[in-house]
Amino acid sequence: MKNVSALFLSLVMVVVLLAGCAGNKNNDSASSPASTESNVSPSASASNPEDNVYPENGLSKDDKVTLKMGYWEAGSGRAWMDLAVKKFIEKYPNVTFDITSTPTLSTILEPKIAAGNDNDMFDIFIPQFTAIGQLERLASAGKLEPQDDLWERDVPGETGKKLRSVISDDAYDTSLSLGFTARLPVSAYTAGLFFDQKLFDEKGWNKSPNTWDEFVALLDQIKADGVIPITFPGVYAGYLTDYVFNVIQFDLAKANGTFDTYIKNFRSFTGPQLVTTENKEAWNRLYEFGKKGYFPAGVAALNHTQSQMQVLQHKAALVSTGDWVGNEMKEATPEGFNWGFMAIPATNDANQTVFVNSGVGDTSFVIWKNKPDLNKQWAKEFILSLYDFEIQETIASEAGAYPSRLDFGDDPARIAKLQPTQAAVMEYATKHKVEYISYRREFGLTSAEHGQADKILSELITAAATGKKDPGPVLEEAEKLKQIAIKNDRP
């Protein structure tokens, strides 16, 4: 239980891939009875407005509201959101929802934002964009409603227990990274290398390497057995770096005794970012793996589903992805497949700290600023309702995500609701000295040079993973662009 609690206490929140869909069929709303004239005294009549409000929020039961929601339907399914909407309209029958749910929400969001028509914009939506820095630009332009007041609200059904008290300090800091609370952390994810434990057992492969040499030996053994050691989606190449190799820099800094300074400089964009000794070493290791043929031929053409299918079909041993993979691939998962998890131990110290990437899940909502106050108030009420334990449990059991409440892990019955991929991460944490880390920054970069640097790095991933390009010169080029962006965008 200690390790389980540590997981929830450690989760931190940054941008990868968990969401579901609620649908738009919740239209059977029932408003409370309209006021009617009757033979009552003036004093009794004057008290009616107070009697016709919800005591927990002071909002009128008579004011009918329809919230337009934009929902990113990704790998987490829609069951948890169906339940959240159903419970909300049962409790507040004057509120209905008009939901647009799609896995390509950005193709709807971005044109709406560009059009500048506030009436046509969603009241509440998951900020899924293809444009780099879009969320930061919206925050800077004053387009997003602050949600800071929700921190001091009671969590649903627990009078006196404030929302802030059940959210980790780092998650709270992440929520304020735009200068105000633009969105609250409803769920979290972890990411790394996922595999089939059954296959590893059959092959006699090491399911839990303790050192770098043990990990490399594992990959050599897998390759010798005719299986691709590691796969990833080249179409979304950041799966390999964000979820696995970018974490190595923190492992190395921890081992060198410089972690506190390193992470401070990372968060604040102080000093070199891409050409630190630790980051260059991480990229060089990726490049060496590429030259050894540890990644699939033709990886640049693989999407995330295809790369994950390679592991389900035992064509590849390990896939770099997030813990949502179990839920996302459940229909294709063969009987007897047993998800396992590992991170990369970066040094040869068997007692080293192993960092695991984690962050805010894609169930966090923003509220459009230029909307009627009543709509914004009810949007906040809906966001607060997502911290109800029944909803948080459904996020665990149906969405395949970690609920963000710190106290979720206090009850073993709730822990039992986690899906196999989350359970696999927990099992790994019992065997290793794990710390969870996100790529949270103290401010965002929006300058064109930032986008140019990220494009260069994205193209480098598959080039290095196929052993075709030495990352060193590219990192130097990207660093120069990144530093220009940091100078331009620093508050």
- Between 218 and 36, the more confident residue is 218
Number of domain units in the chain: 2
- Between 437 and 258, the more confident residue is 258
Measure Cα distances from 404 to 5, 9, 185, 393 in Å.
12, 9, 6, 11
What tens digit of pLDDT does each residue of 368-387 get? 999 999 999 999 999 999 99
pLDDT of residue 231: 98
Domain span holding position 283: 189-359+438-489
Give a yes or no: residue 296 inside a domain.
yes
Give a yes or no: residue 420 inside a domain.
no
Measure Cα distances from 240 to 16, 85, 292, 304, 361 in Å.
12, 35, 16, 11, 18
Residue 337 pLDDT grade (very low, low, confident, very high; cuts 50, 70, 90): very high
Give a yes or no: residue 11 inside a domain.
no
Reply yes or no on whether the pLDDT at 232 is more than 80. yes
Mean of pLDDT values over 268-284: 98
Reply yes or no on whether the pLDDT at 41 is more than 90. no
Do 295 and 208 share a structural domain? yes
Residue 42 pLDDT grade (very low, low, confident, very high; cuts 50, 70, 90): very low
* CA end-to-end span of the chain: 42
Give a yes or no: residue 45 inside a domain.
no
What tens digit of pLDDT does each residue of 54-81 get? 999 999 999 999 999 999 987 777 888 8
Do 174 and 311 share a structural domain? no
Residue type for position 272: P
Residue 362 pLDDT grade (very low, low, confident, very high; cuts 50, 70, 90): low
Do 287 and 387 share a structural domain? no
pLDDT of residue 450: 94
Do 201 and 140 share a structural domain? no
Q: Which two tokens stand for residue 461?
A: 């991933």
Residues in the chain: 491
Do 446 and 299 share a structural domain? yes
Do 244 and 112 share a structural domain? no
Longest CA–CA span in the chain (Å) reads: 90
| Helix (H), strand (E), coil (C) string for the chain | CHHHHHHHHHCCCCCCCCCCCCCCCCCCCCCCCCCCCCCCCHHHHHHHHHHCECCCCCCECCCCEEEEEEEECCCCCCHHHHHHHHHHHHHCCCEEEEEEEECCCHHHHHHHHHHCCHHHCCCEECCCCCCCCHHHHHHHCCCECCCHHHHHCECCCCCCCEHHHHCCHHHHHHHCCCCCCCCCCCEEEEEEEEEEHHHHHHHCCCCCCCCHHHHHHHHHHHHHCCCEEEECCHHHCHHHHHHCHHHHHHHHHHHHCCHHHHHHHHHHCCCCCCCCHHHHHHHHHHHHHHHCCCCCCCHHHCCHHHHHHHHHCCCEEEEEEECCHHHHCCCCCCCCCCEEEECCCCCCCCCCEEEEEEEECCCCCEEECCCCHHHHHHHHHHHHHCCCHHHHHHHHHCCCCEECCHHHHHCHHHHCCCCHHHHHHHHHHHHCEEEEECCCCCCCCCCHHHHHHHHHHHHHHHHHHCCCCCHHHHHHHHHHHHHHHHHHHCC
CB of 10 within 8 A of CB of 355? no
pLDDT of residue 5: 40
Percentage of the chain surpassing pLDDT 70? 89
CB of 50 within 8 A of CB of 108? no
Do 103 and 172 share a structural domain? yes
- Nearest CA to 424 out of 195, 153, 179 is that of 195
Do 311 and 167 share a structural domain? no
Mean pLDDT of the chain: 88
Give a yes or no: residue 426 inside a domain.
no
Q: CA 113 to CA 221: how far, in whole Å?
A: 51
Mean of pLDDT values over 5-13: 39
What tens digit of pLDDT does each residue of 134-171 get? 888 899 899 999 999 999 999 999 999 999 999 987 78
pLDDT of residue 49: 57
Do 100 and 249 share a structural domain? no
pLDDT of residue 228: 98
Percentage of the chain surpassing pLDDT 90? 70
pLDDT of residue 131: 74
CB of 367 within 8 A of CB of 127? no
pLDDT of residue 443: 83
CB of 192 within 8 A of CB of 356? yes
Mean of pLDDT values over 316-343: 95
Q: What is the dihedral of CA 393, 396, 398, 399, to 10 degrees?
A: 130
Residue 361 pLDDT grade (very low, low, confident, very high; cuts 50, 70, 90): low
Residue 183 pLDDT grade (very low, low, confident, very high; cuts 50, 70, 90): very high
Reply yes or no on whether the pLDDT at 34 is more than 70. no
CATH of the domain at 137: 3.40.190.10
What tens digit of pLDDT does each residue of 463-476 get? 999 999 999 999 99
Give a yes or no: residue 423 inside a domain.
no
Give a yes or no: residue 290 inside a domain.
yes
Reply yes or no on whether the pLDDT at 7 is more than 70. no
What tens digit of pLDDT does each residue of 423-464 get? 899 899 889 999 888 888 888 888 999 999 999 999 999 999
Mean of pLDDT values over 406-428: 88
pLDDT of residue 31: 32
CB of 412 within 8 A of CB of 1? yes
Reply yes or no on whether the pLDDT at 29 is more than 90. no
Give a yes or no: residue 10 inside a domain.
no
Q: How many CB atoms lie within 10 A of CB 400?
A: 30
Domain endpoint, select from 349, 380, 400:
400
What tens digit of pLDDT does each residue of 300-328 get? 999 999 999 999 999 999 999 999 899 88
- Between 376 and 32, the more confident residue is 376
Do 475 and 347 share a structural domain? yes
Residue 406 pLDDT grade (very low, low, confident, very high; cuts 50, 70, 90): confident
Do 201 and 160 share a structural domain? no
Reply yes or no on whether the pLDDT at 411 is more than 80. yes
Weakest-pLDDT range from 213-217, 309-313, 421-425, 485-489: 421-425
CA-only gyration radius of the chain, Å: 24
Distance, C-alpha 325 to centroid of its chain: 13
pLDDT of residue 412: 87
φ, ψ of residue 435 to 5 degrees: the values are -125, 145
Do 281 and 210 share a structural domain? yes
- Between 180 and 359, the more confident residue is 180
Scored b (16 or more CB within 10 A) or e, 309-322 reads: bbbbebebbbbbbb
